[in-house]
Structure 1
Amino acid sequence: MPQTHRFKPLPLSSMTHAPELPKVQRLAQPHDAALSLLTDLHHSACVVAHQQDGLDQTMHLMMRAGVRMVFVSGVHGELIGMVTAEDIQGERPVLRASSQLVPHRELTVADVMVPVTQWDTVDLAAVRTARLGDIAETMHEHGLRYLLVTQQKQGKTMLRGMFSARRLEMAMNTTIEPDLHSRSFAELEMVLAH
């Protein structure tokens, strides 16, 4: 007869008063391992909006989920972009609405998202040996609020995780400002190339 393992229930206790919620903020130093603040998508749920969702609907989704960035899926559920609260509440929708001559309320997430083809990513192999200061400097130099981390698996590029400038700023008690000189030069270079 095969041996079976018997499981047993754990003891429960009744609450006499409301427990306190845990404090999410974590303190970190620039020399700490980068992996310590990586949002690993293997262990965290992704918040996803559909490309045809309205901007107000997407902001409501972000507020309910407690996030400031969501990924965007296409018609068949494929990953096609990402959009931040700043993208939705900033000048991008106003410019898009005026250039397309459509009312703001008719804009969709697809109109203001950053498509996958414009993402700047870093490979997980580089992150494994990096420090938080390296991540902060990368985000500063490239003017990023989110740094997406990819991983090569079985010949495919997988989205593995991300770093949030806001989370790094809170943990390290610092500010990650974009390097306006290199960003302006890069934008000028793109204009001159076209």
Structure 2
Amino acid sequence: MQREHYTPLNLVPIVADSCAVEDAAYARKVTADSPAVDVMTDLRLVAAATIGPDLPLPAATQSMIQRGVRSLFVVDDTHAMLGLLCADQVLGEAPVKIATARGIPQAELTARDLMVAADRVEAVDMDDVMRSEVGHIAATLKRSGRHHLLVVQRDAAGKASVRGVFSATQIARQLGISMPSGTIAQTFADIEAALVA
């Protein structure tokens, strides 16, 4: 039922130099003992970064840059997950090797050519996440050697959907550490140091 009349809210002035802009990623500092959900990107609240499987690789790379993400969900027309495309795959040696092996220019490669197929992507269950802390997530990411970890949730019928994403970059940011420009091992060494501090 739609209301016929909505009363406007009162407008208040913003005074220069006395009003800060909040940034949830920075304002919400965490520790190793903080609830894991505090560092999870909840896809019920934030739109998932998705692309189609036939998107050319240069366009997929540009999509990552424009969205400020390091991974994209590759989905079909029904929004079913086909795979995951990560910056490491796009920016690494894989495009050169695949293009060379096929005898085609790199620009002709698509997201499908470099994505990790959905049946090869591992995830954690939302029920486990709800009982976990940031330290558990950092340890899981480190053990897997990945920058990202998906969170799945099942409905009453048992059908799974991706509910969230953990990112080593996001965790580091919320721990208040600057992200190193080195390897995943260096990233986790910095995260571990922050967790025990």
Name the TM-score class by shorter chain.
0.7 to 0.9
Q: CA deviation at 1:170?
A: 2.1
CA RMSD of aligned residues (A): 2.4
* Correspondence 1:177 to 2:173: no
Unmatched tracts of structure 2, length 5 or more: 187-197
Larger-Rg structure: 1
Give a deviation string over 1:101-130, Cα, whole Å, max 9, x none: 221110001101111011111001110110
Partner amino acid, structure 2, of 1:22: E
Report the Cα distance in structure 2 between the residues aligned to 1:82 and 1:142, rounded to whole angstroms: 15
Look up the match of 1:164.
Answer: 167
TM-score normalised per structure 2:
0.79
Unmatched tracts of structure 1, length 5 or more: 179-194
Give a deviation string over 1:61-119, Cα, whole Å, max 9, x none: 12222212111123554320111122111111112112222211100011011110111
Matches within 5 A, 1:1-194: 6-13=5-12, 21-23=21-23, 24-25=25-26, 26-74=28-76, 76-154=78-156, 155-172=158-175, 173=177, 177=185
Are 1:51 and 1:75, in contact at CA under 8 Å, matched by a contact in 2?
A: no
Once structures 1 and 2 are overlaid, which stretch shifts more, 118-127 or 75-84? Answer: 75-84
How many residues align? The count is: 175
TM-score normalised per structure 1:
0.80
Identity %: 29
Are 1:47 and 1:71, in contact at CA under 8 Å, matched by a contact in 2?
A: yes
Q: SS of the counterpart of 2:8?
A: coil
Q: CA deviation at 1:6?
A: 4.8
